[in-house]
Amino acid sequence: MQDTPSESFFEEKEIHLSEYLMVFMKRKALIILVFILTVLAAVFYSFFVDPVYESSARLILDNKGSSSPITGERTDYESYHSQTMSFNTSIKTIKSSPVIKEVIEALNLDAENKDLEVNFFRQWLSNLKSNIKQLLVKKDDSRLSLEEIRNRKIQALIAQVQNKITVEQIRDTRLLTISAKDKDPKLAAAIANTLTTKFMEFNLTNKMDASKQTLAWLNQELYDIRKKLEDDEQKFFEYKQESRLFSIEGKQKLTEQKIQEFNNRYLETRNKRLGLDAKINELNKNLGSLKGVANVRSLINNPIIESIYAKVVDLEIELSRLSKIYKGRHPNIVQTQTELIKTRNSLAQEIAKEKENLKSERKVLYAREKTLEKTLTEFEKEALDTSSKELKYTILQRNVDTSKNLYDLMLSRIKESNILQTANTSNIRLVETAQIPIGPVSPNKKRNILLAMVLGIFFGCGLAFFFEYMDQTVRTEEDIHQYFDQPVLSVIPKADKSVAYGGQIDFQE
């Protein structure tokens, strides 16, 4: 299928490099014009726009760890993320409205009737926008109060000052660079220095306010803890008075000592009483015969009984000797028998008396044993009663100790807070003050002109290609063959009117 002339006209063809050169040569006037206009615009901007000066100050942000207001121990840990957050927070705080407002008031920027905008295009757009609003929108400022009007002006001034300020962190350091731009070099340095000062004061003020709030909270907590400590001590004292306990440890130790002492005395008395019972039983068994009396002598250590018993033995020996010599009715035998009977009676009386003494002593020991047993029982009951009171005593004592320790801890923290509050320490220090700049930072004339030359060439070449693309004029025989695929029958020459007939003819179309 054969292409139509219109389709073949718009068919793309391969372009040779020489054709680009031909386009440049053909549109050289346009390229030169765009180049000259761009460079002139850059020169006009660079030499007629007010120069802008920049001054910088540097701060160092030391590490600041947060701690518990009660124990004083650190509640955070050092990490790259926490450091980044700390720097970002400081950067945002430096450009915050309260700090900028302090700078405006310190430098009296709100009283000076001058434009603080340093960006030419931003200033031009701002003026254009303001003029359009004045033409299209009718504002009724009569309804606004003076305070509202002043607040709007202050907010606009704060925005302008914020646009003049740049805060950057120096990589791999704790340094912050605070830069301020202005058309006045002295004002640029003053803004940078004042901003650093006001930021440090703002940071210290916030820290002092936080310390005051913490101190107020600690004082309130200290008052509550002291009141609770007094209540716990009062309850503990009343319980000791009611229970008659001066100290649970001392009471238990004293009771144990008494129980040990009375238990030893009780056992000693009981052993003595059992010993007397054994003696009395032996006496009852052995009192029926003389041999038994001999056994009694070993149970009773009595010299009288020993002497009487020795006399009885001697009389019996004498009576046995006389019985071998005399008959039974002999006066010596009768006299000896009579004396022997008296001596035996005396021995029996002494043994009976000794027995009664033993019974009396046993009775005393028995009564003492019962008394000691009763006293020991009372002490054991008291010990059990003390043990039953120990739980409540321990609870009350623990409450008092806990409240006292917490009170001492809070008191020490309050003293430390008072010391820190009066110390006026801050983790932000000024490293370098802003100096009055010698030369402007913008406009950069060399850079602007070089950039304008490059952009002028690019814009000129672009416009040249654009116009060449939009130009659809057929100029040569090759264009007819290429776009219409038709043979050329003849060429009408373009005569030059400046020459006579028969002169040189230009065959351009």
The rounded average pLDDT for each run of 10 residues, N- to C-terminus, in the chain (509 residues) is 47 63 82 89 81 89 61 55 80 88 85 57 62 58 70 84 87 88 87 90 84 80 85 82 70 76 84 80 66 62 75 79 76 79 78 79 85 81 70 78 84 72 71 88 83 89 83 69 70 60 47
The residue among 447, 456, 455 whose CA lies nearest residue 46 is 447
**Residue 274 is encoded by which pair of tokens?**
């059992």
* Structural domain for 270, as ranges: 55-429
Angle at 291 between CA 287 and CA 296, to 5 degrees: 50
pTM score of the predicted model:
0.53
Distance, CA of 278 to CA of 357 (rounded, Å): 14
Per DSSP, 10 falls in state T
- Buried b / exposed e over 78-101, threshold 16 CB at 10 Å, is eeeeeeeeebeebbeebbeeebbb
- Single-letter amino acid, residue 302: N
Token pair 């229970």 is at which residue? 243
Q: How many domains does the chain contain in total?
A: 1
Angle at 186 between CA 182 and CA 190, to 5 degrees: 85
Q: Phi-psi region for residue 72, left (φ > 0), alpha (ψ -120 to 50) or beta?
A: left
Tell me if 305 is assigned to some domain: yes
- Adjacency order of strands within the sheet including 175-182: 165-169, 175-182, 53-61, 428-432
Tell me if 302 is assigned to some domain: yes
The residue among 277, 254, 273, 257 whose CA lies nearest residue 370 is 273
Distance, CA of 237 to CA of 129 (rounded, Å): 81
Distance, CA of 19 to CA of 254 (rounded, Å): 123
By CB atoms closer than 10 A (0-12, 13-18, 19+), residue 52 is buried
What pLDDT, on the 0 to 100 scale, is given for residue 58? 92
What pLDDT, on the 0 to 100 scale, is given for residue 317? 82
Which neighbouring-strand residues pair with 432? 58
Which neighbouring-strand residues pair with 58? 177, 432
- DSSP states of 150-201: HHHHHHHHHHHHHHHEEEEEPTTSSEEEEEEEESSHHHHHHHHHHHHHHHHH
What pLDDT, on the 0 to 100 scale, is given for residue 297? 63
Distance, CA of 461 to CA of 375 (rounded, Å): 125
Task: Give how far the C-alpha of residue 19 lies from the chain's centroid of Cα atoms, to the nearest Å.
Answer: 75
What pLDDT, on the 0 to 100 scale, is given for residue 454? 92
The residue among 277, 281, 83 whose CA lies nearest residue 175 is 83
Secondary structure element (H or E) that encloses residue 228, with its range = helix 185-243
Task: Give how far the C-alpha of residue 468 lies from the chain's centroid of Cα atoms, to the nearest Å.
Answer: 72
Residues in the chain: 509
> Phi/psi of residue 482, each to 5°?
-75, -45
**Residue 96 is encoded by which pair of tokens?**
């915050």
Tell me if 471 is assigned to some domain: no
Distance, CA of 389 to CA of 393 (rounded, Å): 6
Tell me if 493 is assigned to some domain: no
Dihedral sign for Cα 480, 481, 483, 488, please: positive
Which neighbouring-strand residues pair with 169? 176
Tell me if 418 is assigned to some domain: yes
- Single-letter amino acid, residue 486: Q
What pLDDT, on the 0 to 100 scale, is given for residue 10? 47
Tell me if 441 is assigned to some domain: no
Packing angle of the helix pair 17-26, 28-48 (nearest 10 deg): 60
What pLDDT, on the 0 to 100 scale, is given for residue 8? 47
Tell me if 505 is assigned to some domain: no
Distance, CA of 213 to CA of 426 (rounded, Å): 17
Tell me if 479 is assigned to some domain: no
Distance, CA of 139 to CA of 137 (rounded, Å): 6
